Chains A and B, each alone.
Chain A
Amino acid sequence: MSAPLTSLDRPNSYIGRSVPRPNAKRLLAGRGRYVSDLKLPRMLHAAFLRSPHAHAKIVAIKTDAARAVEGVHLVATGADFARICTPWTGTLDHFKGMTSTPQWPLPLDRVVWAGQAMVAVVAESRAIAEDALELIEVDYEDLPIVVDIDGARKPGGPVINPGSASNVCFRSQLDSGTVDDAFMHAAHVVEEEFTFGRHTAVTLEPRALVADYDPSAGMLTVHHGTQTPYQFQDLYSRHYGIPEARVRVIATDIGGSFGMKLHVYHEDMAVVGLSILLGRPVKYVADRMESFVSDIHARDHRVRARMALDAKGEILAMDVVDLTAIGAFSTYPRTSVVEGNQVIRLIGAPYRLTNYRAALEVIFQNKVQTSQYRAVGHPIACAVTERLVDMAASKIGLDAFAIRELNVIPDDAYPQTSPTGYRFEALSHQACLKRLHEMMDYDGLRAEQADLRKRGIYRGIGIAAFVEITNPSPAFYGVGGARISSQDGAILSLTPSGEVRCLISVTEQGQGTEAIISQIVADQLGVAQDHVRVITGDTEVTPHGGATWACRGAGIGGETALQATRVLKRNILEIAALILQEQPSALDIIDGEVVDVATGKPRLPIAEIARIAYFRSDTLPPGAQAQLTVSHHFAPQGYPFAFTNGIQGCLLEVDVETGLIKLLKHFIVEDCGRIINPMLVDEQLRGGIVQGLGAALFEECRYSDTGQLMNGSLADYLVPMPMEMPDIVIAHVETPTADTVLGAKGVGEAGTAAASACVLNAVNDAFAPFDATINSIPITPAKILKALKRF
């Protein structure tokens, strides 16, 4: 063998290795256990009557005919729930002045968006429940509808929440440096107004839960397709007044989530209430149409931004106003202002920037709530920043790479604090830029572009640098008073046969949590990966923790597993030392065997240690108590977030006759710190990029001016399909965080963060020969033709 040995050549070295996910075989065989598959004895089914009006007073609800249908067990309205459930309000304390009205499972007197669940029917089958819904009559009294941002902000216009002076949910300002001064002395100023349409997660499995309240035990079990079982345990307990230890939330296989399945939905709270009212299991699975009108949407923003530069092209200042409309309530418990807050704080993040001003206004409207969805705020911040950088480059006559090289924070200049208060430990923009330039064969692409242009073929090349927020500390929700954990917990046992069981609070939605945790445990303990079984997603079994959101699975969950494993290893070696009459420090574990550190000679299998400890403790010296189960928690300290970075590139072709865009190739160079499983990281990036590309070109929740969602089905709402998606080339730079032993940061949002910015820049690049620009996402054929003045 000629290649030098690397750390991957050690036995049981799994960190950094592309191993397949052990649990994926079940899913491939059709043996997934999704909540939508679940059937319990005596289980009933819920369906909801939904409001046809975007804003109306509920005058009367007549349910007698529905109640009389054979097979119907219960028809419940808002008042029935208000008796057993306390309301919730989606505000956080550190967002000063933020407002939102209290919410109940079903509304008491008003509906505030078209599609809002109004009345629940529980029956022996979903079909019977739906039949009964048809027999319910509701008298509504129309109220004025507030649909768009301008309408919502009109002084003296209709106000959605009674008792409020306006439709403003929250306002925030950032101001640092001397922005006006910088603009006054700038050699160049670029300015643009951007609009970002609403889109939604469209997980392939819709939201699903089975609530099972057992009155004899006073125990609530909820099988819930969610990423955050502990959060729901807490919420069900507090809002329904059931002691927390008697609420169990089980989240087994989840058919896609992306942030959408961690918010409190009215129907989900209602289903828990229905089970309590009936004392029987009640199942609810949203159908696709219901998903479109009731899952959270995201990204409804209008941003006006300007950038000042000096004569050389150095960025001097940015000035930004973000208006975002969030629906009629702020979501609970994370709130709907987090996205806007992240937009204004992430704008300009890759660049040396000291003069920065931003205003955020978050506005209510009569539409379904918007809230956190994959890469919260990132795509908007990135698109605004990167488009302005490109506009500046063409104004000054600089190349897209050159202007970024001139302005990114240098790789040796860390730590850095952004003017918006983010503290960056170590990022690698320069290295990523350089790598992308080579990987794309940028000069070759430019030459080809010029050639093709002569033949009437219009290609665009777009790049976009980004900064991603990962590993959130308690500074995220904890300080705002939300009971959302930033710590994770693991319980690790050596079983009597010498295998390892790891119960951990981070959850699996297909990104490979269980695989990477088993890699970390196997690596750190010195056993084969298939001797490690990882169990996630059951609040009765796994210790409390944040679970999986905002890119914390590897960085926080992984570190928890690593630290827990080190404790277990120490305990195993202590027992081994007693048995072998050796110093623990002279021993190590390799391949499931205790070995001499010095010689590597095997001394005793760990299975033998387990056997002695569990079955022959009489042979251990007096006073020895084997601790072969350890419980360990870890909360991030040090930097409030582990920021990551990267850059994406996109090559596409615009058909100027039809307005259609063909994506030809996509590129990403990304730095998520220590990589645990390169294959899983790459697949996270690809999946994320495709979500961003969908947003860039296809996805938009389109409303009529009466507040009706007009494209609420998979036939009308376009999602990225295999045919339209390009191949994606990936490279990595690794800058581990020094805050943890593992050094891992998150990677889940990176793909989505910059994909639409890249496409926006590429389309505008393709437009270079024309007097045309585009500043709105999604970039539809109609918008292209309009920009080209052909429509």
Chain B
Amino acid sequence: MSGFDETLQDEAEAPVRVRFVVNGRKVACEVAPRDTLVDCLRDKLELTGTHAGCEMGACGACLVQLDGRAIHSCLIYAVQADGARIDTIEGLSEGGVLADLQAEFHRRNALQCGFCTPGMLINAQELLSRVAEPGRGEIRDALSGNYCRCTGYEAIVDAIDAVAKARSKGGVAT
């Protein structure tokens, strides 16, 4: 045998009950201690808008809001998020929070395959909640943990720039 300890595997699989408020709704589900939050959201809660591109915090595809702040859902275990408020792309879309960003991304074609897009939007929202009118350099800097293979990033930067200007002009709450 390879020295594999079967009790370890049993423990890794033993389910734990966690509760969150996901997109404004209370949910409870059973997860394995080793399940990451992105796995839990995608597999258990069927919220597949949150994507996994690298599972090591390098690509930004898995960004969600946890208690209002953008976090990498691949870098935390579901059990660590027990009791937290989690907002995913689905909830933020339905709540209209991202509507202006989404409209501007659409208008400028700031996405191609769309796999990076939920993470991009959540990061953009986070940036605009911190900085009212970021410069283009600041936008690029803020997005530097969001990998996109399809676009050249420029339309994404343009879209965020335009929304930043519109929001600060119109005083739209962020």
* Residue ranges of A at the interface with B (Cβ–Cβ < 8 Å): 20-21, 24-32, 34, 36-37, 39, 65, 69, 127-128, 131, 134-135, 137, 201-206, 253-258, 287-288, 509-512, 679-680, 683, 685-687, 689-691, 713-715, 719, 721-723, 725, 727-728, 751
Contact = CB atoms under 8 A, between A and B. Distances in A.
B32 A715 contact: no
A509 B106 contact: no
Contact of A39 (B46, B53, B157): B46
Interface string B114-152: 111110010000000000000000011101111111111
Q: Give the secondary structure class of B's interface.
A: loop
A30 B118 contact: yes
Given A27-B114, A256-B115, A510-B114, A679 B149 contact: no
Contacts of A751: 152
Contacts of A511: 112
Given A288-B56, A510-B112, A727 B4 contact: no
B140 A253 contact: no
Given A29-B102, A36-B51, 12 more contacts: A24-B109, A127-B35, A135-B1, A203-B113, A683-B151, A686-B151, A687-B151, A690-B152, A714-B58, A721-B145, A722-B141, A725-B153
Interface stretch (B14-22, B75-83, B85-93, B165-173): B85-93
A28 B107 contact: no
11 contacts: A20-B106, A24-B105, A27-B111, A27-B117, A65-B4, A127-B12, A204-B113, A257-B113, A683-B152, A713-B58, A722-B143
Contacts, number: 188
Contacts of A725: 140, 152-154
A204 B49 contact: no
Given A27-B117, A690-B152, A715-B56, A131 B147 contact: no
Nearest to B107: A20
B143 A28 contact: no
B42 interface: yes
B141 A509 contact: no
Contact of B113 (A26, A202, A256): A256
Contact of A24 (B12, B46, B61, B111): B111
Contact of A20 (B49, B55, B109, B121): B109
B49 to A, nearest CB: 2
Nearest to B50: A30
B147 A687 contact: no
B40 interface: no
Contacts of A680: 109
Interface residues on B, range: 35 or more
Interface in B25-68: 32, 34-35, 42-43, 46-56, 58-59, 61
A687 B88 CA distance: 27
Given A29-B93, A205-B51, A722 B153 contact: yes
B145 to A, nearest CB: 8
A65 B5 CA distance: 12
B156 A258 contact: no
A774 to B, nearest CB: 24
Nearest to A287: B55
Given A34-B115, A683-B155, A722-B140, A255 B51 contact: yes
Contact of A127 (B2, B32, B115): B32
B115 A32 contact: yes
B102 A28 contact: yes
A360 B140 CA distance: 42
A204 B61 contact: yes
B9 interface: yes
B155 A721 contact: no
A26 B49 CA distance: 10
A255 B52 CA distance: 11
A134 B6 CA distance: 11
Contacts of A137: 2
A507 to B, nearest CB: 12
Contact of B48 (A34, A127, A128, A727): A34
A25 B113 contact: no
B55 A288 contact: yes
B146 A722 contact: yes
B93 A512 contact: no
Interface of B: 1-2, 4, 9, 12-13, 32, 34-35, 42-43, 46-56, 58-59, 61, 88-90, 93, 102, 105-109, 111-118, 121, 139-141, 143-157
A137 B4 CA distance: 12
Nearest to B118: A30
B111 A687 contact: no
Nearest to A684: B112
Contacts of A713: 54, 56, 58
Contacts of B2: 65, 134-135, 137
Contact of A254 (B46, B105, B113): B113
B153 A21 contact: no
Contact of B90 (A24, A29, A205, A721): A29
Contacts of A204: 51, 53, 59, 61, 113, 115-116, 147-150
A253 B113 contact: yes
A255 B113 CA distance: 5
Contact of A727 (B90, B149, B154): B154
A79 B112 CA distance: 41
A683 B149 CA distance: 12
Contacts of A685: 152
Contacts of A714: 53-54, 56, 58-59, 147
Contacts of A37: 42, 48
Nearest to B10: A70
A253 B109 contact: no
Nearest to B139: A722
A255 B118 CA distance: 12
A269 to B, nearest CB: 24
A205 B53 contact: yes
A28 B105 contact: yes
A696 to B, nearest CB: 14
A683 B55 CA distance: 28
Nearest to A68: B6
A258 B148 CA distance: 13
A134 B93 contact: no
B91 to A, nearest CB: 9
Contact of A719 (B117, B141, B149): B149
A201 B53 CA distance: 13
Contact of A30 (B54, B93, B145, B148): B93
Contact of B4 (A135, A287, A512, A689): A135
A746 to B, nearest CB: 16
A37 B152 CA distance: 25
Nearest to A679: B109
Contacts of A689: 152
A691 B111 contact: no
A687 B112 contact: yes
A476 B173 CA distance: 56
B144 A683 contact: no
Given A28-B117, A288-B55, A288-B56, A201 B102 contact: no
B89 A723 contact: no
A511 B93 CA distance: 23
Contacts of B47: 30
Contacts of A509: 112-113
Nearest to B122: A30
Nearest to B113: A510
B70 to A, nearest CB: 15
A257 B107 CA distance: 23
Q: Which 4 A-B residue pairings sit nearest by Cβ, starting from the closest?
A: A30-B49, A27-B114, A686-B152, A30-B89
B41 to A, nearest CB: 11
A201 B157 contact: no
A69 B8 CA distance: 13
B4 A28 contact: no
Which of A39, A128, A687 counts the most chain B CB atoms within 10 A? A687
Contacts of A687: 112, 149-152
Nearest to B58: A714
A683 B147 contact: no
B49 A288 contact: no
